[in-house]
Amino acid sequence: MKANVTVNKSFVIDKIDKRIYGSFIEHLGRAVYNGIYQPEHESADDMGFRQDVLELVKELDVPAVRYPGGNFVSGYNWEDGIGDKSKRPRKIDLAWHSIEPNEVGIHEFAEWAKRANTDVIMAVNLGTRGADEARALVEYCNCNTDTYYANLRRENGRDKPFSYKTWCLGNEMDGPWQIGHKTAEEYGRLAHETAKIMKWVDPGIELVACGSSNYNMATFGEWEYTVLSHCYNEVEYISMHQYYSNADNDAANFLARSVHMDAFIKSVAAICDAVKAKKHSKKTINLSFDEWNIWYHGNGPKFTPLTVGSPLFQEIYNFEDALLVGSMLITLQNNCDRVKIACMAQLVNVLAPIITENDGGAWAQTIYYPYLLSSLNGRGRTLKSVVDCETYTSKDKFTVPYLDVSVVENDERRELVVFAVNRSLDEEMEISLEIGGYEGAKIISHTEIYADDLKCENSAEAQNVAPRDVEITEDAVRYNTVTLKKHSWNMIKLTY
């Protein structure tokens, strides 16, 4: 099979906001307790954070982490996680039927984020609480004033503000499963009033309104339109959430899910622009795809209710999952004109690229590697790619190119980075790169992630799915051509 990719320096989609390589840590399962935080572990530092986990997170160069939820935030009182640890209440978390000891709260997570070299995207509780608690939290985190909540932060050991820039106005408020579930009218009004006074406390923050919990919600579209009709002027983003499954074991259809993701993004952007037109606004609402991943295996350890740090949604991922994650990252790159924030959900143990053993080490799942290489090398501007290749039709009637590709220009490094997935389950693919506007551009490296077995998994003992360097031939350098193995993820670098 052959394919042709044409790009030109003059045709740019947009600059990539580094936050599209963000992630998510919720007080859920083993994400926090027995995940990032395990004071009794041999690798624990002075704060109880596992250093082996920190090293894997730092290697990813995660720019931002959404916290503390998720469904958890809709029943969370942030005051429970500040002050003397010995006096913090143990509470039942109704979202995940667990016990929350509140050993990790605002100050502890801020310190973890600092040690992980990442920023925090903070979420406020609009399920059981509202505008008053949200504005108090903004004052506590961001204000340098001589006022009650700012002084309370100082009393708890933090003189300087945390200065969090990005805030989420609740989580999945359209979901009947959500604590404090609301109609679009109810949430839109609450989001408007909450956003208004949060910005009165700190005018420099930016806000994310809740979009639909997923594309298949009965209220999708109408929800976004109604919510934004209320709070358009007060927010900068609307959220998107989507998980994909291969429960029917159809690899070709599974690998086509990123085409669905692309259509979902464009649909939400169109709704935002419809509200913009209705309001005669000059402002553009962008997208925060702050939950995305693969979720269906159910192959992790058993959950024990009403305990601390029991495993929940601890998916063990395989090679075909890594291929789709790679394509989803390509989709985010190709939509960087509207998607400014994206969070792989989650980061550690829960639907995660990183798994820990309570009495052992931490290791990288298959999905860790396309995330790693995209984060480290996908910084810059995405170029518009014109792709000529064969296609197939997915079960939901999408036309799916066998080649999924993005091209990112990193002018500082004088590199073009091509991220490419060959979706064909049977054939290798020879791709020709037509590069315009970059005189002397030539291929210098080719990295691939490949396994013959689509169900191949990683473990603590064996990293069966991991990147490997591919030898560059003379023809590849001379003609800017490269061959991709069947069902493979690839990164090709060119210098100019």
Return the active site residues. 172, 291
Of 161, 198, 208, 180, give the one whose Cα is nearest residue 76.
180
The b-or-e profile of 99-126 (16+ CB within 10 A means b, else e) is: bbbbbbbbbbbbbbbebbebbbbbbbbb
Measured in whole angstroms, the distance separating CA 261 from the mean position of its chain's CA atoms is 13
What number of other Cβ atoms are within 10 A of residue 70's Cβ?
26
- Please count the residues of the chain: 496
3-state secondary structure of 445: strand
3-state secondary structure of 169: strand
Measured in whole angstroms, the distance separating CA 6 from the mean position of its chain's CA atoms is 29
**From CA 411, how far away is CA 206, in angstroms rounded?**
28
What number of other Cβ atoms are within 10 A of residue 171's Cβ?
31
Three-state SS across 305-335? Answer: CCCCCCCCCCCCCEHHHHHHHHHHHHHHHHC
The residue assigned the tokens 């601390």 is 308
Residues 139, 142, 144, 150: is their CA dihedral positive or negative? positive
Q: Write the burial class of residue 323 (CB in 10 Å: 0-12 exposed, 13-18 middle, 19+ buried).
A: buried
* Residue 103 contacts residue 150 (beta carbons within 8 Å): no
**From CA 304, how far away is CA 283, in angstroms rounded?**
47
